[in-house]
Chains A and B, each alone.
Chain A
Amino acid sequence: MESTASLDKTAHAGFDPARSAPASPVICIEPTRGWVAVKLKELWDYRELLYFLVWRDVKVRYKQTVLGAAWALLQPLFTMLVFSIFFGRLAGIPSDGVPYPLFALAALIPWTFFANALGQSSNSLVNSAHLIAKVYFPRLVIPLASVLGGLVDLAVACSLFVPMLLYYGITPGWGILWLPGFVLLAMVTALGVGLWASALNVEYRDVRHVIPFATQIWMFMTPVAYPGSLVPERWRLLYNLNPMSGVVDGFRWALLGAGAPPGLPLLASVFASLTLLVTGAFYFRRMEKTFADRL
C-alpha cells in the first residue's frame, strides 16, 4: 500500500508536542505500481495483532462448537476408520509393513491440518472484509493467522497417536525429532497456496468454489491412502515436487519408521513449498492495494 518504512523509530520516539517536529515524515503515502517489497519488518511490528487474531479464531471455534476440542479428534479418527475399511481391508492397499490404520492416521493428521489451513486462509480475506475496510495493518496477517490457528487443532489431533502407538506396540525412534520440521513444511505449503488463493479470491469470487475441489484432487496426488513407494522410482522426484508428499512421507518415517529417511525427495518438497511461499507473498503484496476497494 504505502510506499515507505512504516515506522521510523528515531523520528517519533519520545513524542513531545512541545518539541519541534522531526525533519522527515514518519509515513509517506503514495501510489505504487507493480511489484512491491514484502516488508517482513512491518509484519514483525504487528506480531501482537497476529497473536490476537489467532487467539480469537481458536477461542471462538472452541467456544462455538458443541463438541469443542473433540471435533479436531473426530475428523481424522473417522476418516482413518473409513480409509482402513475401504482402502486397507477391501482394496488391500499395501502400507509399507505398518498396520494400515496407523499408516493412514500418520498421513491424515498432517493432511487434515493442511486442508483446513488452506480452506480457512483462502477465504480469510473475504471473511475479514469488514476489518480490511476499516483498519490498516499488513494484510498478510490475515491468511497467516488462519494457518497458525490450525496448529492448535493439529496439536489436539496429534494426541491420537499416543493410544494408537501403544495399541500397536510401536515405539517411535529419534526420527520423531524431525516432526516439527515436517509440520513447518506443511505450514509453509498451506500459507504459500493460501496467499495465492486468498488474493485471487478477492479478485475472482469463484475461487472459493475451486479450492475444495482442488484440495480433494490434491489429496489423491499425495500418498495419504497409499504408500509413496507405489509410484515408480523414475517419477519419484517429480512426485515429490508436491510438498505435501514430503510432509506425509516425513510423518510416516518420523513416527513409524516406515519408508526411506529424508533425502533428495524431501529437498524437492522443500524447494517447491518455498517457491510457493515466496511467489505467493509477492503476488499477495502486489494485489494488496486493491483489497479495500474490492471487498
Chain B
Amino acid sequence: MLTGCRKALPMNDLAIRVRGLGKQYRIGGGNRGPYRSLREAISDTFRFPFRRRPNPDEETSFWALNNVSFDIRRGEAVGVIGRNGAGKSTLLKILSRITEPTTGRVELYGRVGSLLEVGTGFHPELTGRENIFLNGAILGMRRSEIARKFDEIVAFAEIERFLDTPVRFYSSGMYMRLAFAVAAHLEPEILIVDEVLAVGDSGFQKKCLGKMENIAQHGRTVLFVSHSMQAIRRLTTSCLVLSGGEVVYDGPTAGAIREYERLQRLATETASTYVANPPPRHSHVAQASVITSGPYGQHEWGHPLTFRFTLHFTESSQHFTFSFQVMDEQERPVIHCYYIHPVTKADYALGPVERGTYQVECHLPHPRLYMGRYTVTTWLTNRRSNQLIEKLSGILAFEVTMHEQPREEYERHPGEAAYVEDWAWSPVQPVEVGV
C-alpha cells in the first residue's frame, strides 16, 4: 500500500531494493491439470459445500524464488546469472510487475521499463511503421516520444526501404533488427533486460551490445540477465548469482562469473559420469562415462563422441547383450546403439564372458545430433533367459552445442531439428506448368 511505501526511508542513491522476496508456484495437484473447468468447479461446490478451497500445501508446490534480498544503486549495471531454473526469469517477472510475489517486497525508485523479449505484440499484418508505434506503446512509450525517436529507430534497424511493408514479408534478421531497435530506444530510469541480445547476426549483436553499454553509461540503472558471460563481463560491474531460487553471490562481476562456472561444473561433472553406488548384487553397469569434445559434458556438434561402459558380471554366460539409447529432452529415443562384435558383426551378444569386470567403448565418429541436452538409457539383458538384468535411465547427461556452426541471419534455436543431415539442393529452375 502507498502508506507502507512512505514509511521506508532508503539510502539516497538507491534504485531497487528487494527484501525477502519469494515466489511459490503450484504444480497442478492430484489429477487436475493446469486449468480447471467450470463444470468441475461447480460439481466440487456441490460435493464439498463447506470446504473453501483445496489447501495449497496439499498440492505440490515449489519455491521458484526464496528469500531473495539485494540492493541496487542508481546508475549501476547489474547482471543476473544462474543456471536454467535458478529463478532468473521469475525474478525479472516480479520486478517487471508481470507476476506477483508470494512473499517479500520490492521498492523501485524510478520509472521501470522491461524487455523480457523483443518484438512483443508485433503484428505480422501491420507494416514496419505501424509496428514501431504499436510496439513502442506496448513497451510503455508515449506516442509523442515514439514520433520523436522514429527516425532514429528506423536508422538503427536499417529498414528504411521496407517501412511500409507488412512485417510478415520481412526476413527474420530484419524483423529482429526492427524489434530490437524499438526496444533499444526505451529510456526508463530503471531498465530490466532479459536475454534479448542474442538476436540477429553477429554484426548487429555488436551494435546492440554497444547500445546497451551506452544506456548503462548514461546513468540509468540496468538489470541484465544473460547466459553470455562475454556480454555480462562487458556490460556489468557487479552481479547476482542465483541458484535454486536463492542468491548465492552478490558482488563484483569477475567473482560472480567464477561462481557461476563453479556451479556449472558441479552440475555437469557429476551428471556426465555414472558410478554404480552401491553396486547391485547382480550383473550391472559399474561405471559409465561420455567423452565429449569439451569439458563437463559439453559437446560441440560434429566432433566424435565416445561412450565408455564398465560392465561387471556375476556369472559366466555367452548370452549377455548390451545396448544403450540416447534420449532427447522429451525422453524420446534418438539413437539406439547395440553391441555388435567389431569383426564378425554377426552376433548381437557380448560373446562368452567369465565372471569379472570388462570395459567396452562405443565410438560415434560423426554424430549428427542437433543442439540440445541428451541423456542415456542402458539395457543389459540375458538373451537366453530373456531377462532384463538392468536398465539405467537418465544417466550421462551431455549437451550438444553448435558454437562452431554459426548461421547468418538468425541464430540456431533448440528444437528446430533432431539431426543436422547432409543435404544438397538443386538450383531453382523454371518449369512449364500445365501441358
**A136 contacts across to B, CB distance below 8 A:** 96-98, 114
Question: In the complex where A17-B219, A18-B219 touch, is A25 in contact with B35 (Cβ < 8 A)?
Answer: no
Q: Roughly how many angstroms separate A292 CA and B104 CA in the complex, as a whole number?
A: 19
**A216 contacts across to B, CB distance below 8 A:** none
Please state if B35 and A21 are interface contacts (CB–CB under 8 Å): no
Q: Roughly how many angstroms separate A206 CA and B110 CA in the complex, as a whole number?
A: 41
Please state if B75 and A17 are interface contacts (CB–CB under 8 Å): yes
Interchain CB contact (< 8 A) of A59 among B39, B130, B218: B130
Cβ of A137 within 8 Å of any chain B Cβ, yes or no, is yes
Cβ of A159 within 8 Å of any chain B Cβ, yes or no, is no
Digit string of A37-65 for contact with B (CB within 8 Å is 1, else 0)?
00000000000110110011001100110
Please state if A12 and B94 are interface contacts (CB–CB under 8 Å): no
Please state if A135 and B100 are interface contacts (CB–CB under 8 Å): no
Cβ of A279 within 8 Å of any chain B Cβ, yes or no, is no
Cβ of A235 within 8 Å of any chain B Cβ, yes or no, is no
Digit string of A19-45 for contact with B (CB within 8 Å is 1, else 0)?
011111111111110000000000000
Cβ of A4 within 8 Å of any chain B Cβ, yes or no, is yes
Please state if A293 and B25 are interface contacts (CB–CB under 8 Å): yes
Question: In the complex where A17-B218, A52-B134, A136-B96 touch, is A205 in contact with B35 (Cβ < 8 A)?
Answer: yes
**A131 contacts across to B, CB distance below 8 A:** 120-121, 138
Question: CB-nearest residue of chain A relative to B25?
Answer: A293
Q: How far is the CB of B307 from chain A (nearest CB, A)?
A: 39
Cβ of B405 within 8 Å of any chain A Cβ, yes or no, is no
Q: Roughly how many angstroms separate A101 CA and B201 CA in the complex, as a whole number?
A: 62
Q: Roughly how many angstroms separate A135 CA and B93 CA in the complex, as a whole number?
A: 9
Cβ of B14 within 8 Å of any chain A Cβ, yes or no, is yes
Question: In the complex where A4-B5, A17-B75, A32-B100 touch, is A49 in contact with B110 (Cβ < 8 A)?
Answer: no
Among the interface residues B4, B5, B95, B108, which one has the most CB atoms of the partner chain A within 10 A? B5
Q: Roughly how many angstroms separate A15 CA and B9 CA in the complex, as a whole number?
A: 19
Q: How many A-B residue pairs have CB under 8 A?
A: 163
Please state if A292 and B99 are interface contacts (CB–CB under 8 Å): yes
Question: In the complex where A5-B2, A52-B134, A63-B125 touch, is A27 in contact with B112 (Cβ < 8 A)?
Answer: yes
Digit string of B76-96 for contact with A (CB within 8 Å is 1, else 0)?
000000000000000001111
Interchain CB contact (< 8 A) of A137 among B123, B130, B140, B189: B140
Q: How far is the CB of B65 from chain A (nearest CB, A)?
A: 12
Interchain CB contact (< 8 A) of A134 among B10, B98, B104: B98
Tell me the count of chain A residues lying within 8 A, CB to CB, of chain B. 53
Please state if B13 and A20 are interface contacts (CB–CB under 8 Å): yes
Please state if A25 and B108 are interface contacts (CB–CB under 8 Å): yes
Please state if A56 and B123 are interface contacts (CB–CB under 8 Å): yes
Q: Roughly how many angstroms separate A55 CA and B127 CA in the complex, as a whole number?
A: 13
Cβ of A177 within 8 Å of any chain B Cβ, yes or no, is no
Q: Roughly how many angstroms separate A191 CA and B39 CA in the complex, as a whole number?
A: 24
Please state if B105 and A204 are interface contacts (CB–CB under 8 Å): no
Interchain CB contact (< 8 A) of A203 among B36, B101, B103, B116: B36
Digit string of A201-232 for contact with B (CB within 8 Å is 1, else 0)?
00111110010000000000000000000000
Please state if A29 and B143 are interface contacts (CB–CB under 8 Å): no
Q: How far is the CB of B304 from chain A (nearest CB, A)?
A: 41
**A30 contacts across to B, CB distance below 8 A:** 1, 4, 101, 104-106
Cβ of B431 within 8 Å of any chain A Cβ, yes or no, is no
**A22 contacts across to B, CB distance below 8 A:** 109
Please state if B100 and A134 are interface contacts (CB–CB under 8 Å): no
Please state if A204 and B98 are interface contacts (CB–CB under 8 Å): no
Cβ of B37 within 8 Å of any chain A Cβ, yes or no, is yes
Q: How far is the CB of A267 from chain B (nearest CB, A)?
A: 32
Question: In the complex where A27-B97, A31-B103 touch, is A56 in contact with B9 (Cβ < 8 A)?
Answer: no
**A133 contacts across to B, CB distance below 8 A:** 98
Q: Roughly how many angstroms separate A116 CA and B102 CA in the complex, as a whole number?
A: 37
Question: In the complex where A5-B2, A21-B13, A49-B137 touch, is A135 in contact with B121 (Cβ < 8 A)?
Answer: yes
Please state if B95 and A29 are interface contacts (CB–CB under 8 Å): yes
Cβ of A154 within 8 Å of any chain B Cβ, yes or no, is no
Please state if A24 and B110 are interface contacts (CB–CB under 8 Å): no
**A205 contacts across to B, CB distance below 8 A:** 35-37
Please state if A29 and B219 are interface contacts (CB–CB under 8 Å): no
Q: How far is the CB of B88 from chain A (nearest CB, A)?
A: 15
Please state if B106 and A28 are interface contacts (CB–CB under 8 Å): yes
**A132 contacts across to B, CB distance below 8 A:** 98
Cβ of A160 within 8 Å of any chain B Cβ, yes or no, is no
**A294 contacts across to B, CB distance below 8 A:** 34-35
**B219 contacts across to A, CB distance below 8 A:** 17-18
Q: Roughly how many angstroms separate A106 CA and B208 CA in the complex, as a whole number?
A: 56
**A206 contacts across to B, CB distance below 8 A:** 37-39
Please state if A28 and B4 are interface contacts (CB–CB under 8 Å): yes
Question: CB-nearest residue of chain A relative to B22?
Answer: A31
Question: CB-nearest residue of chain B relative to A130?
Answer: B120
Please state if A20 and B12 are interface contacts (CB–CB under 8 Å): yes
**B106 contacts across to A, CB distance below 8 A:** 27-30
Please state if B93 and A292 are interface contacts (CB–CB under 8 Å): yes
Please state if A21 and B109 are interface contacts (CB–CB under 8 Å): yes
Chain A to chain B contacts (Cβ below 8 Å), 26 pairs: A23-B10, A24-B6, A25-B5, A26-B108, A27-B108, A28-B4, A28-B5, A29-B94, A29-B97, A29-B101, A31-B102, A31-B103, A49-B138, A52-B137, A56-B123, A56-B134, A59-B130, A63-B125, A130-B121, A133-B98, A135-B121, A136-B96, A200-B38, A203-B35, A204-B35, A293-B99
3 nearest A-B pairs in the assembled complex, by CB-CB distance: A17-B219, A25-B107, A204-B38
